[in-house]
Amino acid sequence: MPHPDLEKIHHDITAWYSANARDLPWRGPAADPWAVMVSEFMLQQTPVVRVRPVWESWMERWPTPAALAAEPVAEAVRAWGRLGYPRRALRLHAAAVVITDEHGGKVPGTEAELLALPGIGTYTAAAIACFAFKVPTVVVDTNIRRVHARLVSGRALPEQNQNAAELALAARLLPAAGPGDTVGTALANDWNIAVMELGALVCTARSPRCEDCPVLNQCAWIAAGRPEPHYKPKGQPWHGTDRQVRGAMMAVLRHSPGPVNREELLGAPDLAVVASKPRITVSARQGDPAHEAWVTLHALPALAEQRERALDSLLADGLAQQGATGIRLPR
C-alpha cells in the first residue's frame, strides 16, 4: 500500500474532478474513439487552449479515420497549422490509413493493437484504451507523474525521465478493477483522468495551488515542508533554435499553393525580389498568410548553416519533399 489514505485519496480526487473538470469536447459522451485519438495526438506536446480550435476543425473535416486517410498527407500537415511538432500530423495520417485498411475504419480497442499503429507509444495507447474504451489501465503522463511525485513521494518534481519505479507506483495507486468489476473499472477510469486534470489545473509545475487542492491534508510534499526540486528543470528554448527555423519554413510551405525554391527558403532575400519571381508562390500583400510566413522566415537571425540544417531535417523527416520544381509538402 503506497499511501495509508489511498481510498480517501481516490474519493477526494475523483470527487474534485466531478465538480471541476473542464468541459472539453473530446471528453464528452459524443466523443468517439477517433475523436479521443486525435485529441491525444494533438495534446502530446501542445496545451489544451491551442489544441481545441484545431481539433474542432479537424474533426469537422475528418470525422472518421477513413475521411483523413482519403486525403493527401499534405492536407493533414496543412491542417496541423501551428500546433508544433508536425511529425505528429504525418503519423496521425499514417495511423488513419492503417485503421482504414486493417481495422475496418474503426480505432482498435486494445493497447497491443493501438501500440502497433504509427505514432502511438505506451502513454498514448494507454490513454486511448482508458478514455475511449474504458480499459482500467495505468496511464502516466507528465501531469500524473508530477502529482504522484508530490502527493506520494514528497518530491517537488518527478524524475527528469520516466522510470520503472514511477510506473510501478502508478500501478499501485490505480484503483483495483478485476474482470467484470464495473465499479472498480469506472473508478480506475475516473482516477486516471482526474489525476491528470489535477496536475493540469492545480498541481501545476511552476506554482501549485495547494490551497485549492482536494488532497492537501494527505500530501507528502506538503508534510515534508515543500522541499526544493532535486534538480534544476530545463526549459525548452525556442528562439534561436532549429525548431524555430523549421517552424518558420513549415509555415511557408503550408501557405504556398505550389513548390518553393530551395534557395529562397534558405536565404534572406529582399521580399520584393522574392515576390517578383514567377516560380515563387508568395503574395506581396500585407496580411496575406503566405507573405507573413515569408517575412517571419526571412527575419530570423539564423545563419546559413542553421537554415540548411533545419531544411535538411524537414526533408529527412518527410515533412517536406524536394521535387523537380522546388520544395513542397509531402504528397
Which residues bind to ligand SF4, rule: CB under 6 A? 147, 150-151, 202-203, 208, 210, 213, 215-216, 219, 221-222
Catalytic residue list contains 40: yes
Task: Closer to ligand SF4 by CB, 88 or 148: give it.
Answer: 148
Task: Closer to ligand SF4 by CB, 83 or 219: give it.
Answer: 219
Min dist CB 190 to ligand SF4, Å, is 17
What is the Cβ-side half-sphere exposure of residue 329, based on CA atoms within 13 angstroms?
24
Q: Residue 204, by phi and psi: left (phi above 0), alpha (psi -120 to 50) or beta?
A: beta
Min dist CB 212 to ligand SF4, Å, is 8
Task: Closer to ligand SF4 by CB, 24 or 222: give it.
Answer: 222
| Cα–Cα nearest to 258, from 288, 280, 286, 289 | 280
Using an 8 Å Cβ cutoff, are 331 and 73 in contact? yes
Query: Where do we find the cell 503566405?
Result: 290
Min dist CB 156 to ligand SF4, Å, is 8
Task: Closer to ligand SF4 by CB, 10 or 93: give it.
Answer: 10
* Cα separation values, 272 from 37, 54, 155, 295, Å: 44, 32, 56, 11
Kind and range of the H or E run holding 326: strand 326-328
| Cα–Cα nearest to 195, from 220, 178, 175 | 175
| Cα–Cα nearest to 119, from 100, 99, 92, 83 | 92
Task: Closer to ligand SF4 by CB, 116 or 201: give it.
Answer: 201
Using an 8 Å Cβ cutoff, are 128 and 107 in contact? yes
User: By three-state DSSP, how is residue 77 classified?
Assistant: helix
Min dist CB 13 to ligand SF4, Å, is 9
Min dist CB 160 to ligand SF4, Å, is 18
Min dist CB 211 to ligand SF4, Å, is 8
| Cα–Cα nearest to 92, from 135, 124, 139, 126 | 124
Q: Which of 7, 40, 71, 292 is catalytic?
A: 40
- Give the whole-angstrom CA distance, residue 115 versus residue 120: 5
Determine whether 297 is exposed, middle or buried from the number of CB atoms within 10 Å of its CB (0-12, 13-18, 19+): buried
Using an 8 Å Cβ cutoff, are 151 and 219 in contact? yes
Task: Closer to ligand SF4 by CB, 150 or 246: give it.
Answer: 150
> Which residues are known catalytic residues?
40
